[in-house]
Each structure stands twice: as C-alpha cells, then as structure tokens.
Amino acid sequence: MPVVSQIIRAEPLTAARFAAFGSVLEAGNQAGRLVNQGRARRLEGIRTFSYQPAMRPVVDLYQVDRSYLPFKVSCFERHPLSDQVFTPMECASYLVVVTPDDGTGRPNVSRACAFVAGPTQGVCYHSGAWHAPMIALDAPALMTMLMWEAGDSRDCEEFWLDASRDLIVEA
C-alpha cells in the first residue's frame, strides 16, 4: 500500500491562530499589576481552566529530547477531562501540532496545523483538543505541565496514525 504524505508548514505561535485549540501564555507587553511589595509584576494568564469534579491537580516536569524539522508526527493525544498547560523552563523553541476533532471522536488529521513556540510562550490545550506530544526544537527542553487527573485511562486518549499515512511538519 503506498504511503500518502501530508506536508504542513509550521508558523509562529499566536493567540489568535491557536484560539480554537486553547490559549497562549506569553510574556510580553501586558500591563499586569505589581505584586510582592512592588518587586514583581503579575502578568495575566489563563482565567478559566476546564476540569471535572473529583480530580486532583498534577504538576510534572517533562524533559524533552531535541527533534528536527522536518518532523514526522505519528501520534495525537487528548485529555477529555481537563485542560493541559505546558510552560517552558529551559527551552529554545518547541513545536505545537494540533488538529480538530472529526465529529466522531477522532482527530481530523487532514486539518492539522503546526506552530513554533518560543521560550517565553506557554500553551494551554483545551480539554479534548487533539495535539501531538511535546516536541522540542533547536535544543532539549524542560517543561512544566499542569492538568487535573482522575488517575485512570480517561486522563489521556491516544490516536496513532496508520502506516499508510505520513504527517510531515516543515519550517
């Protein structure tokens, strides 16, 4: 069976382009407010966070090996019970690959899109948003991950692309 290759180009991560899949946290020109007796500025981040009752918050660190473009995506995952946040601690850049649901609970890979995020940008995936696992570019990365978990198989669903289809992300 011949392999069908779909090539998508990664574009810079912006809040507007990513809005259908979640929120972008970004250090920048936000006014914020002074805290800690004026020694720090609190910049506005996520004001709503979706999760189900009777879940526990989980904060983990992800050490992510360096990958290169072009990058072949082989798996999408989603977290139907909770939003999921990644913020870089040590990171040059990372790749964010997302795709909408196809209406039957599977990712619509033909509508996938990719973004390159910088070291001052975090992402919050909406609960149920299909996304590729974390992909560090340019150098290994250390990321903080926050989500709420039930502690069972409902926390993460995976969808593996079959061998007859390649999804390639290019610069």
Residues contacting residue 19 through CB under 8 Å, at least 6 positions apart: none
Q: How many CA atoms are closer than 13 Å to the CA of 160, on its beta-carbon side?
A: 2
Which CATH number fits the domain that encloses residue 114?
A: 2.60.120.480
Statement: residue 7 has pLDDT above 90: yes
Round to whole Å and give the CA distance between 92 and 23. Answer: 20
Give the structural domain span for 25: 4-170
Q: How confident is the model at residue 2 (pLDDT cuts 50, 70, 90)?
A: confident
Q: Report pLDDT digits (tens) over 110-156.
A: 999 999 999 999 999 999 999 999 999 999 999 999 999 999 999 99
Q: Report pLDDT digits (tens) over 96-111.
A: 999 999 999 999 999 9
DSSP strand pairing (4-12 vs 165-170): parallel
Round to whole Å and give the CA distance between 134 and 62. Answer: 9
pLDDT at 115: 98
Q: Report pLDDT digits (tens) over 32-88.
A: 888 999 898 888 777 778 888 889 999 999 999 999 999 999 999 999 999 999 999
Number of domains in the chain: 1
Q: How confident is the model at residue 29 (pLDDT cuts 50, 70, 90)?
A: low
Higher local confidence (pLDDT), 8 or 29? 8
pLDDT at 54: 82
